[in-house]
Amino acid sequence: MAIPLAGVSIPMKNQASREPVRCALVGLGRIGSILEEDPLREKPATHAGAIQAHPDCKLVAGCDRDGDRCAAFAVRWKVAAIYRDLRTMLGESQPDLLHIATPPEHHLEAVRCAVAQRVPVVVCEKPLAPTRAEAMKLVSLARRGGVRVMVNHERRFCVDWRHVRSVIQEKPLGDLESIRATLYMGEHRRAGEMLLDDGTHLIDALRFITGGEFKRIRAWGDARKRGGTLWAAFTLAGIPGVLEVGGGRDHFVFEAELSFARGRVRVGNGVFEQWESRPSPHYRGARSLALREDLKFPVTGYFANMVSAAVGLVRDPKAPIESKATDGLAAVSIIEKILGAIQKT
């Protein structure tokens, strides 16, 4: 079920009676389909799951170069139109919406196919491309070809991250003073790979909530060694921040800690805390932070709201794109700047 979000075009209930939005999916792997079977994840958790759960959408076709994945997908989602070749799928199924859930190296080629077949709207997985140069080509190709690309940086569609954005904008805790972001996504991984793979979400989410740009980037550490850690310091919207990305931990952490003049927020995977300044129970005449126990976001709506936003783009060609290809390009550019800055130190 989609959660209504300010600023995101969500279809009205009676829109279900309109012509369905024809959705096709390329990449029938983990985020395309398979993670829907994870009993612990918030559902829907995949493109196929979110498309099928949306009252306006019809999953008309799927494509993967792997035959076993095609077969499993056809059974799981009861889709008969299965292809091994993207051009053929697009030519025959004529979708309104193409979901690209292949590895980043294939995103540019997939958008090229969408342009050739005049698919009006594409949802493209992150990172937009493996390099800034390729992301720039993708942005320009889509612009010239008239394809509207929305990047699945799904924090933009999560109610918890959107709440944090409103805390920054409306200032109930005063001004944002500093940012600390942390990313540990696999014990034996390289920090550089993690930064591109998962860090693209974190960088985009920080740009989204602050509405600002990363500047004055400096970085240290080891991006290439398995289990290594890297640090980056920056300003974002003029606010000082640090980012730590590391292997060597046996647990996942994806979070931002935001320090405000009168409070603190922690937001990330499986964590939301809003702390507010109150008269201290520990020190006379001082103030301490107290946790708002009443403020929780057990359901974020991440995939459901993302698909609703994509449906809004199909229904209204003039609707603004919440997570633009240029935002995806910005994230990849910042990542390259961080990695380049390490090499200079």
Ligand X SMILES: NC(=O)c1ccc[n+]([C@@H]2O[C@H](COP(=O)([O-])OP(=O)(O)OC[C@H]3O[C@@H](n4cnc5c(N)ncnc54)[C@H](O)[C@@H]3O)[C@@H](O)[C@H]2O)c1
Contact positions vs ligand X (CB under 6 A): 26-32, 63-66, 69, 86, 101-104, 106, 125-126, 152, 154, 197
* DSSP class per residue in 247-299: -S-SS-EEEEEEEETTEEEEEETTEEEEEEEEE-SSSTT-EEEEE-TT---S-
Nearer Cβ to ligand X, position 97 or 173? 97
The CA distances from residue 15 to 10, 94, 221, in Å, are: 10, 21, 52
Q: How far is the CB of 106 from ligand X (least distance, A)?
A: 5
Nearer Cβ to ligand X, position 194 or 338? 194
Which of 256, 292, 282 is CA-nearest to residue 172?
292
Nearer Cβ to ligand X, position 91 or 317? 91
Q: How far is the CB of 205 from ligand X (least distance, A)?
A: 12
Nearer Cβ to ligand X, position 106 or 189? 106
Q: How far is the CB of 236 from ligand X (least distance, A)?
A: 22
Judge contact between 240 and 220, C-beta under 8 A. no
Q: How far is the CB of 189 from ligand X (least distance, A)?
A: 13
Six-digit token string for 177: 């003073």
Q: How far is the CB of 127 from ligand X (least distance, A)?
A: 6
Nearer Cβ to ligand X, position 101 or 206? 101
Where residue 216 falls (left for φ over 0; alpha for ψ -120 to 50; beta otherwise) is left
Determine the residue with CB nearest ligand X: 29
Judge contact between 323 and 331, C-beta under 8 A. no
Residues contacting residue 58 through CB under 8 Å, at least 6 positions apart: 20, 21, 22, 23, 51
Which of 219, 264, 216, 210 is CA-nearest to residue 237?
210
Nearer Cβ to ligand X, position 70 or 233? 70
Judge contact between 99 and 51, C-beta under 8 A. yes
Paired residues of 25 in beta bridges: 62, 99
d(CA 238, CA 264): 18
Nearer Cβ to ligand X, position 27 or 44? 27
Q: How far is the CB of 93 from ligand X (least distance, A)?
A: 14
Which of 59, 253, 29, 126 is CA-nearest to residue 37?
29
Give the CA dihedral 160, 131, 139, 158, nearest 10 degrees: -10
Q: How far is the CB of 105 from ligand X (least distance, A)?
A: 8
Q: How far is the CB of 302 from ligand X (least distance, A)?
A: 8
Nearer Cβ to ligand X, position 104 or 268? 104
Q: How far is the CB of 287 from ligand X (least distance, A)?
A: 38
Nearer Cβ to ligand X, position 66 or 213? 66
d(CA 244, CA 230): 6
Q: How far is CA 184 from the centre of its chain?
A: 17
